[in-house]
Amino acid sequence: MPVIGWIGLGQMGHRMAAHVAAAGYPLVVADAVSTDLAPKGARVADSNSEVGERAEIVILSVPDGAASLAVCQDLTKAKTRSVEVVIDSSTIGMSAAQSAHDLLKGHGIAYVDAPVSGGIAGAEAASLSVILGCRHALLERVAPLLSKIGGHLFHVGDKPGMGQAVKLLNNFLSATAMVATSEALAFGVAVGLDMQTTLDVINRSTGQNTASRDKFPKRVVTENYDGGFAAAMMAKDVRLYLAEVEKAGSASPIATEIEALWTAFDAHSPGADFTRIFPFVRDQKSGRGPKR
């Protein structure tokens, strides 16, 4: 088996890396913040460059495009480079994916645009959707490895950035569902309805969505607000989506409003879990919370 490098051991990354290690791949890991969650038996590298020296395939799970490009720069500086393929599972946007591809191509390293969807639960269960924008030859090479972290591999295009496009529009829909469901259930609560009973009706009716089926019953009704995804990351993803929509000249009347609301929520509640958007939306008209 090839040696696999893993850079980024955050909420998603360490769970995905654990599945790769459990499948028997030799693993060398790095993280800019902490490697405390490195899979048992993995070699901990002193730097990203060392990962590039020891691993044939390197998987990235980092917060944004700037981090991804910085890691790619580090990998190109490996003194005795082994890395041949970089798989980027991060959500970084189309432009950053193309830039990473171009940077690595100049050093003879292939780039696979492979953002993932499914959240912490999907990472834990190895049931993520992996959305791939790359050449078919690369897809065939990396599919056996990616099948260890994803239950569904989708090849959406041959160019880097195509995976990002699908991931961004998916996250925009998820963000919109969360906001719209918050507004609808805030109305229900305001007129005296029980939230769980209302959800039971919605989830057997035409208004059902991922927020009503999963986030609200498990995270909002319970008031645990523990979805495991930061509001700041959702705001970032919606901003990326809106930027790409504007670049494409596509329609964006809803995206403009959704982006403004997520940005306002992130500013109001730094570090909050994204499921806490419900009380923020609920309080918008009541006067108990800040206005956008």
Structure tokens, 3? 């040696």
Q: Which of 97, 36, 21 is nearest to 62 (CA)?
A: 97
- Please check whether residue 11 lies inside any domain of the structure: yes
Does residue 167 carry a catalytic annotation? Answer: yes
The helix-helix angle for 195-202 and 162-190 (nearest 10°) equals: 130
Are residues 223 and 181 located together in one domain of the fold? Answer: yes
Are residues 78 and 198 located together in one domain of the fold? Answer: no
pLDDT digit string, tens, across residues 44-101? 999 999 999 999 999 999 999 999 999 999 999 988 889 999 999 999 999 999 999 9
- 27-30 and 43-44: which strand pairing? parallel
CATH number of 69's domain? 3.40.50.720
Task: Answer whether 19's CB lies under 8 Å from 149's CB.
Answer: yes
Q: Which domain holds residue 122?
A: 4-158
Are residues 17 and 152 located together in one domain of the fold? Answer: yes
- How many domains does one find in the chain? 2
- Residue 78: its pLDDT value, please? 87
Biggest alpha carbon distance in the chain?
67
Which of the residues in the chain have pLDDT under 70? 286-292
Are residues 137 and 199 located together in one domain of the fold? Answer: no
Are residues 47 and 119 located together in one domain of the fold? Answer: yes
- Residue 261: its pLDDT value, please? 97
Whole-angstrom distance, CA of residue 28 vs CA of residue 17: 10
pLDDT digit string, tens, across residues 273-288? 999 999 999 998 765 5
Are residues 150 and 188 located together in one domain of the fold? Answer: no
Q: Compute the chain's Rg from CA coordinates.
A: 20
Q: Among the options 77, 167, 215, 247, which is catalytic?
A: 167
- Please check whether residue 8 lies inside any domain of the structure: yes
Look-up of token digits 């059902």? 208
- Please check whether residue 290 lies inside any domain of the structure: no
